[in-house]
Structure 1
Amino acid sequence: MSQAPANARLDAAQFVKDQIRTVPDWPQPGVQFRDITPLLQSAKALRVLIDLFVQRYIDARLDYVAGLDARGFIIGPILAYELNLGFIPIRKVGKLPYRTVSESYQLEYGAATVEIHEDACGAGDRIVIVDDLIATGGTMMAGKKLLERLGAVVVEGAAIIDLPDLGGSQLLRAAGLPLYTVTEFGGH
């Protein structure tokens, strides 16, 4: 994968991080919610973010970008467009109209399920999975399993934010998924 000079990446990553708003005690007390909406509202910040991803994947010989419901649907199609690739939505259960393959995973309090169309990709297709952040890693792991069940090669998982204290990035790497994140925030 292509890489910009290290100092340019650091400056761009810091600029992106500076655009992310922290909302304390939302959606529940004790949670520090990392809000990407200011990042998305700024034309310059959005361009810098997408350019970081494009520089990362321009030479990766990808076939698709897959995006996780819901905020992966914001970045994923833009990245796919910029790389001249197709986009695969990985949706919450019950949202896709055609025959699907599903994968359930555990949340901190309960379980969730995501799905893709059974013909979303083929054997050997090279795919990067995109989401806004990695917390516990469950959604991205489920997306990885779905794509691999269809025969795809998941080249990397990509996110704007890593929340390493929640263990998701460690879990994903231990499962063999390389990760690229633009920035990280400690704590919960």
Structure 2
Amino acid sequence: MNNAPTLPEPRADDRFLLRPWRLSADDLALVREAADDDYIARLTTVPAPYSDEAGRDFITRQQRRMATGEAWPLVIVRAADQRPIGVTSVRGHERDQGRASVGYWVVGSARGQGAATAALRTATDWALTELRIPRMELYAEPWNTGSLRTAEAAGYLREGLLRSWQVIGGRRRDMYMYSRVSTNT
């Protein structure tokens, strides 16, 4: 018997869809564009410098994380043309404590269209209801105003500043902590 949760509704809103990673030319193009973004490459495991082999390995790791329930990385797809433009991922590493974290990124050519907010809202609603995780957390650097606006637009509340919280690009960085909690706890 498979106890894997059903995935979020594929439609994040009228403009964006969520789906699992695929070993496809479109998803490799997404990884390639993300690898060219210094910040995405520093903050994630997106392979930089990019190669098709490294891109395939990255996608296979995301598929494995989904299959094992370690995380639920989902590709954000623009509905109008089916182009993959970003990722949102729920990481359940603290699920036994009743919390999980969520992250997201959108490639530069697709920013400013509301994709991250729609995907974050959908993934969070799914984790709170389907996965029954009472508390969702996300972390963003204080200077990253786009990410801060995305979190707040998706219903997250800023809880505080975590000083020297995370290593990014070889340096310890401060992070704002945001959360959304279930109303059913």
TM-score, with normalisation over the residues of structure 2? 0.33
**Could you state the TM-score of these two structures normalised by the residue count of structure 1?**
0.32
